Amino acid sequence: MKQYFSTMLILICLALVAVIVSVKHIDNAQHQGDVSAFTDCSNQLVSAQGEILVCDARIFSLSNDLAEIQSSSAICSNQLAEARSAADRDTKQLAELNQQLLNVKSENEMLGKNVATLTNQMADLVGRLATTTTNLEQANRDYALLENRLRRDIAERLVTERKFNNAQELQAQLENVRKNPSRHGVSSESIYADLDIEVESNRIHVISPD
């Protein structure tokens, strides 16, 4: 009986040893797996940290790019505001120039009308000048005739005066007047007879010789 219990005890011990060895083997395998898994996790963590650093670098670069873009946007905004202001000034200047152009056109139209009026007045003055020139030429001719006739009349008067200063000539003239008295008396027409002069109420006109 004791031998049976000893055998059973040995078998149980062997079974326990086998179980312990199996558990130890399983623990070793589990430990190796855990170590491998920990190593993989550590590698993944390092890789993730590297990627995080790369992402941080990219984020920093993007932040710098964003700052530059914002600065450029501000500059573009200022330039756009200046361009709009310049466009407004140009629009106002264009409106002023258009108004000045309209004023110039209106002034040109007025000048054209004034030129036309002055041209008509000039034509009228030229016509009057031509008439005046013609009248002046006629007056010069009349004055020349009058001057010539005056010289002749002065000469005749001098001759007549000299005759009247001569007693014999004066006696002969008195004798002629007594013998041939004038039937119509002395008048303006008889005085200006044979002088090529027409006597009117308000003027004396010299008759041009043929």
pLDDT digits 0-9 by tens, 158-182: 777 777 777 777 777 778 777 876 6
Does position 112 have pLDDT exceeding 60, yes or no? yes
Does position 210 have pLDDT exceeding 50, yes or no? no
pLDDT digits 0-9 by tens, 18-32: 778 777 777 777 777
| 77 vs 31, higher pLDDT | 77
**Res 200: pLDDT:** 61
Mean pLDDT computed over 88-102: 90
Per the prediction, the chain carries an average pLDDT of 79
| Residue 38 confidence class, pLDDT cut points 50, 70, 90 | confident
Instruction: Give CA separation, 3 vs 58, 153, 159, 177, in Å.
Output: 80, 211, 219, 230
Does position 141 have pLDDT exceeding 70, yes or no? yes
Bridge partners of 133?
Answer: none
CA 180, 186, 192: angle at the middle one, nearest 5?
A: 110
> Which span out of 72-76, 154-158, 182-186 was modeled with the highest average pLDDT?
72-76
Bridge partners of 199?
Answer: 204
Q: Where are the alpha helices (DSSP H) in the chain?
A: 2-165, 167-179, 188-191
Does position 203 have pLDDT exceeding 80, yes or no? no
**Residues 6 or more apart in contact with residue 171 via CB below 8 angstroms:** none
Nearest to 146 by CA among 206, 191, 189: 206
Mean pLDDT computed over 84-111: 89
